[in-house]
Structure 1
Amino acid sequence: MLKKIVISILVLLMIAQASSATGVGASPGRLNFTVEVGSSDTQSLYVKNTGDSISNYLVYVDDEYTEWFLISNDNFTLDAGEVKEVTLELKPPVSGAGEHEFKAYVLSTSPEGDLGVGSGIKIPVNVHVSNVFAKGAVLFLMLIAGTFAYVMYRRRRDVQE
Structure 2
Amino acid sequence: MVSYIFIRTPTMEHPRSTFHGLPRPASGGTDLSEVDIRGIDKILLLRVLYNEARLSTTAVRPFDYDLARQVMAAPILTIDMPHVGSWLSISSFCGRVIGVALTRNTAQGWIYDQLNEPGAFDRAVARARQLTAETLRRRAGALQAGDRDRDREGEREGTPPPPYSER
TM-score by structure 1 length? 0.29
Q: Which has the higher helix share?
A: 2
TM-score by structure 2 length? 0.29
Q: Which has the higher strand share?
A: 1
